[in-house]
Amino acid sequence: MNATTKPFDAARSEAFAERFGSGLNQAATAIMASLGHRSGLFDTLADLPPSTSAEIAQASGLVERYVREWLAVMVTGGVVEYDAATRTYRLPPEHAAWLTRSASPNNIAVMAQFIPFMGAIEDVILDRFMSGGGTCYHDYPRFHEVMAEDSGQTVVAALTDHVLPVVPGLIERLEDGIDVLDAGCGAGRALMTMAARFPNSRFVGYDLCRDVVEKAQAAARQAGLSNLRIEARDLTGFHEPAAYDFVTTFDAVHDQKDPEGLLAGIRGALRSDGVYLMQDIGGSSYLENNIDHPFGPLLYAVSCMHCTPVSLGQGGVGLGTMWGWELAESMLKEAGFSTIDRHTLPHDPFNMYVVSRP
């Protein structure tokens, strides 16, 4: 036996098989949890006493046979309780506190949508593993819908009370009236929230995807937000010197074709007393520091299936979801920011909120 070769550890092998098998069950439960969220079944169950599958189906307006099979997954997955004597199902309030729309911002069923989202693109990504090519946003079904819902409960819902206050004095400046840009604005929910809350300020949003921009424009018109302008724009080579007092990016930098160039453009777009607020995934740039991250596998999977190939598809560097704080700080310094402060908020421990000034 080679001196560097360890003997086969049967106990370790069995433990791995058990752990991996458990992961398969959890993945299956997550896919069904996504269905439970989208169909409203979790919300219905939370409002019902112990009920039969027929009663649950009737209350939710769904077909009983499908509901019954979904419930079987939820029971065996430890989500829903089942009383065999009465053939009734119950969602414990302790579980409902993490699975219903009323539980926002703690609704982790929203995040379960990323599992089927990634599965839908598996064949495309397998091809890219062999070809080395990238993807486009339109390759992903429901991407902007899922992202808007996810950020809606972690960022938008907490924007005024928790996120914006990380910048001292910003609320007062917004109330007085300043110029604001959200780069990579997506569905524009953060922008619309700010525009409605601060009518004296002027807001601009840019995003690469024309389809989502058109929907955001329609929503802004319907809301009567005359102080908000949203445009479809590729941020590669972004250059608007000294145009803004406040610039934000929400989970957007790591997807860019040229993230370094965007950060430099944002630095140049700020006026002398301007400030840049970046929200992004709060991991480390080093894999060894993320091994115990509670959502490490999910975040790296999203990176492999979406964030990295989307950047590569634009001819970019493929920075990835877990580009991390260390690289972010280095890139912000290289872009010319003189002060860089990182914050973690109690309501959102998995993201970083970075405040940078010229």
Q: Is the pLDDT of residue 3 over 80?
A: no
Task: Give the integer Cα–Cα distance in Å for 92 and 45.
Answer: 9
What's the confidence (pLDDT) of residue 200? 98
Residue 181: Cβ within 10 Å count: 25
Question: Residue 147: phi, psi to the nearest 5?
Answer: -65, -40
Mean pLDDT, residues 189-200 taken together: 96
* Crossing angle for the helix pair 143-154 and 189-197, to the nearest 10 degrees: 40
What's the confidence (pLDDT) of residue 347? 79
Average of per-residue pLDDT values in the chain: 94
Distances (CA, A) of 33 to 26, 43, 70, 77, 99: 10, 12, 9, 10, 8
- Amino acid letter at 131? S
Task: Give the integer Cα–Cα distance in Å for 50 and 47.
Answer: 10
Q: Using pLDDT thresholds of 50, 70 and 90, give the confidence band for residue 1.
A: very low
| b (16+ CB within 10 A) / e for 15-53 | eeeeeeeeeeeeeebbbbbbbbbbbebbbbbbeeeebeb
Q: Over the stretch 260-273, which tens digit does the pLDDT of each residue have?
A: 999 999 999 999 99
Task: Give the integer Cα–Cα distance in Å for 334 and 346.
Answer: 29
Q: Over the stretch 67-126, which tens digit does the pLDDT of each residue have?
A: 999 999 999 999 999 999 999 999 999 999 999 999 888 899 999 999 999 999 999 999
Q: Which residue has the tokens 């999910």?
A: 298
Q: Give the predicted TM-score (pTM) of the model.
A: 0.90
Top-confidence range, 111-120, 157-166, 239-248: 239-248
Strand ranges for 169-243 from DSSP E: 179-183, 202-207, 228-232
Mean pLDDT, residues 33-49 taken together: 97
Q: Using pLDDT thresholds of 50, 70 and 90, give the confidence band for residue 2.
A: low
Length of the chain (residues): 358
The CA-based angle 183-185-187, given to 5 degrees, is: 170
| Beta strand pairing call for 179-183 and 244-250 | parallel
Structural Rg of the chain based on CA atoms: 23
